[in-house]
Amino acid sequence: MRRPPTATCSRRKGSVLAALVCAVSVAGASPSGSPAEQLSADHAAYRSFVRDFRAVALRRGIPEALYDRAFRGLAPDPEVIEKSNRQPEFVLPASQYVALVVTDTRVNDGRAKLSELAADLERIEGRYGVDRHVLAAIWGLETLYGKLRGKRNVIRSLSTLAYKGRRAKFGRNQLLAALDILKAGDITVERMTGSWAGAMGHTQFIPTSYKAYAVDFTGDGRRDIWDNPRDALASAANYLRGNGWVPGRPWGHRVVVPEGFDAGLAGKKGERSIREWAKLGLRRAGGGALPHPEERAFLDLPAGVRGPAFLLRRNFRAIMRYNPAHKYALAIGHLSDRLRGEEGALNWPDGIGPIAESERKEMQRLLAGRGYDIGEIDGIIGPKTRAAIRDYQAEKKRRVDGFPRREILELLRADARGGGGKARPD
């Protein structure tokens, strides 16, 4: 029987062994046997996979020396499995996800990058027909404009996904593609770094996407998405164009629905022309006409009729080819609009809204002071910070959702003033 992830698993700072055991249990290891036996079995299964997969790679044409060098000294990465089971775009409600990723900091930094790379983005937009604001939004969401490109060994991450679990097929396909990239000489083993899922570079291409769509925009003879943002942005544009992007058309629009609107018309099955939606009383948020009235779109109500509403066009589907999570594509569209200066933060019926970067950092400092392992104090509410918030919410008998609400910040401040800021030693 598989053990589900627990709210307290690996949240407080402790031994490396404890963290490894926690990650193994999240991945679905049997609870029987000692922790050391479980870890030993897990490593043995990984080594067996690496040995057996060697024949598969060699049949693919990967040189023996390259394969052996790529896997030398590797062990499975327990955090990869844990992160695979807790992807925020799939586990968070839309209100929380969008509020966490479309922040004033991302908007301001993105506008600065749009200005800095204006000439390059104009050329990219002209060549591929993809809106520069959407490209900047992808860059911002994926790596915070290159600040968080990922430092994990891609071969280790992908082989961890490949040797067992629900994403084994994905991991194996991507692992072979990564080895092909190394064979082609586009990057070295040491410099092939990325995310826990093997996504690489400024715009986080998985290896198969890199092989199919990466371009040498700067003409220096290398498709360098790792260190060259121009190559990375052009590669993202090439990807979107190859996956259905229609030049000169928007991704969608935030709209206002009339009082008493039939929410049953929302969803992909209710797709109809923009002109028909206008006849039903939908109007563009902020005013102005809805362009290209002949184009078809579907209505999305991610939080019901009382929440924000969106008409999603064909180019929204192209964004979803980049990442199949609906909330991700919605965040890209909304961030691109804000980068363009069209609209501000969304109003969600559950009261969710972004909090300032300084407040997010303060919350992380206070949680760390209570003994929680939140990683770096950077204002980014990632998996460790959300896990710590969930545990703290449970401790305070509040609704447990892992969202950095101001109420939680006030409770942390009160605890710190009252001398209760430090957790008792384990």
Residue 299 φ/ψ, nearest 5 degrees: -90, 135
Question: Does the pLDDT at position 423 exceed 80?
Answer: no
DSSP-assigned letters across all residues of 191-237:
T-EE-TT--BTTTTB-HHHHHHH---TT-SS---TTT-HHHHHHHHH
Question: Does the pLDDT at position 362 exceed 90?
Answer: yes
pLDDT digits (tens, 9 = 90+) for 222-254: 999 999 999 999 999 999 999 999 999 999 999
Query: What contacts 4, CB < 8 A, 6 or more positions away?
Result: none
Contact by Cβ (8 Å): 385, 375: yes
Contact by Cβ (8 Å): 159, 115: no
DSSP-assigned letters across all residues of 283-306:
EETTSS--S-TTSEEEEE-BTBTT
Q: For residue 203, give both structure tokens.
A: 């715009």
pLDDT digits (tens, 9 = 90+) for 110-139: 999 999 999 999 999 999 999 999 999 999
Q: What global pTM score does this model have?
A: 0.84
Confidence class for position 14, pLDDT limits 50, 70, 90: very low
CA distance 60 to 63: 9
* Residue closest to 161 by CA, chosen among 110, 195, 113, 120: 195
Q: Which residue has the tokens 């009339």?
A: 258
Contact by Cβ (8 Å): 240, 133: no
CA distance 26 to 86: 10
Q: Count Cα neighbours of 97 within 13 Å in the Cβ-side half-sphere.
A: 21
How is residue 316 annotated by DSSP? H
CA distance 16 to 136: 38
Question: Does the pLDDT at position 424 exceed 90?
Answer: no
Q: Average pLDDT over the chain, rounded to whole?
A: 88
Neighbouring-strand partners of residue 304: 302
DSSP-assigned letters across all residues of 236-259:
HHHHHHHTT--TT--SEEEEEPPT
Confidence class for position 7, pLDDT limits 50, 70, 90: very low
pLDDT digits (tens, 9 = 90+) for 299-339: 999 999 889 999 999 999 999 999 999 999 999 999 999 99
Name the percent of the chain in helix, strand, coil, to the closest 5.
Answer: 50, 5, 40
User: What amino acid occupies position 314?
Assistant: R
CA 364 to chain centre: 20
CA distance 292 to 414: 54
When pLDDT is averaged across residues 84-99 and rounded to a whole number, the result is 78
Contact by Cβ (8 Å): 382, 372: no
Tell me, what's the pLDDT at 351?
81
DSSP-assigned letters across all residues of 344-378:
-----TT------HHHHHHHHHHHHHTTB---S-S
DSSP-assigned letters across all residues of 11-25:
-B---HHHHHHHHHH
